[in-house]
Amino acid sequence: MFWRNIIKSFLNVNTLSSVFLPRNAILQTLAGVHNYLTILSLKNSPEGYYRKMPENLKKISVDLRIIGIVHSPYKTTKDAPFQGRNEVSEIEINKDYIDGLKDIEGFSHLHIFYWLHKSENYSLIVNTPWDTKPHGLFTTRSPHRANPIGYSVVELIEKKGNILKVKWLDAIEGTPVIDIKPYIKKLDSKPIAISGWAENANL
Ligand SMILES: C[S@@+](CC[C@H](N)C(=O)[O-])C[C@H]1O[C@@H](n2cnc3c(N)ncnc32)[C@H](O)[C@@H]1O
């Protein structure tokens, strides 16, 4: 923007471009120089280095397919625990996705991804129930997020047709389920993990 304005104020870009160079090529080159200089200055700043995200990549529109719905003992967000408890919920899989459940009985645990549809405004700094200090949103499991995706590792108790009976799910009644993945011990278990501020929290 800065360079674009400078060139516009020194040159009549419309006339110039029609004769010599495509206008967009000039502006793109200047934008590239501007980005390069911005990155260069950030590289040496105390805040460190980052790439500037292209404007058109800051938001994408997606149609999420709801593969199932949670039936839960927790009817409202106030009823639900902060993380899942040893209580049974059911996930009712939409009939269009039933074939995708093939072989699921072989897994004792699953990753469940759901859309926290009652989530409200989010903040990048949040307070958690686990301690008294504020933390960055991305270091917490707050349900209020830029993209309110919820995630739980659940224990699969039983599959009956299109119903999965599970334990340890904190989602409320009616929560849309957007994906299920198998919990694979060899891939997902990280015994050496360090949990930052939550390391010693009484979760
Ligand atoms: C702290 S969040 C953790 C969610 C998930 N286990 C995670 O780590 O992404 C759990 C809380 O989300 C809230 N919640 C559950 N289902 C929700 C929904 N469909 N929409 C918005 N909030 C929901 C409840 O208040 C529950 O206590």
Supply the pTM of this predicted model: 0.79
Per-domain boundaries in the chain: 2-57, 68-186
Hey, which CATH number is domain 68-186, 1.20.120.1200, 2.40.30.70, 2.60.40.10, 1.10.1060.10? 2.40.30.70
Look at the chain and count its residues.
Answer: 203
Give residue 81 CA to ligand 1 midpoint distance, Å.
8
Does ligand 1 come within 6 angstroms of the Cβ of 69?
no
Question: Which residue from 112, 73, 88, 56 is spatially nearest to 160, judged by alpha carbons?
Answer: 88
Indicate which atom in ligand 1 lies nearest the CA of residue 78.
25
> pLDDT value at position 19?
40
Does ligand 1 come within 6 angstroms of the Cβ of 122?
no
Give residue 116 CA to ligand 1 midpoint distance, Å.
6
Residues of the chain predicted below pLDDT 70: 1-21, 38-39, 42-51
Return the number of other C-beta atoms located less than 10 Å from residue 20's C-beta: 10
HSE-CB of 195 using CA atoms within 13 angstroms: 11
> pLDDT value at position 83?
87
Coil, strand or helix: which one is 123? coil
> pLDDT value at position 44?
66
DSSP conformational letter for 99? G
Rounded Cα distance, 114 and 153, in Å: 12
> pLDDT value at position 10?
42
User: 27 with 139: CB under 8 angstroms?
Assistant: no
Does ligand 1 come within 6 angstroms of the Cβ of 126?
no
> pLDDT value at position 17?
38
> pLDDT value at position 20?
44
Displacement of CA 69 from its chain's centroid (Å)? 19
Does ligand 1 come within 6 angstroms of the Cβ of 171?
yes
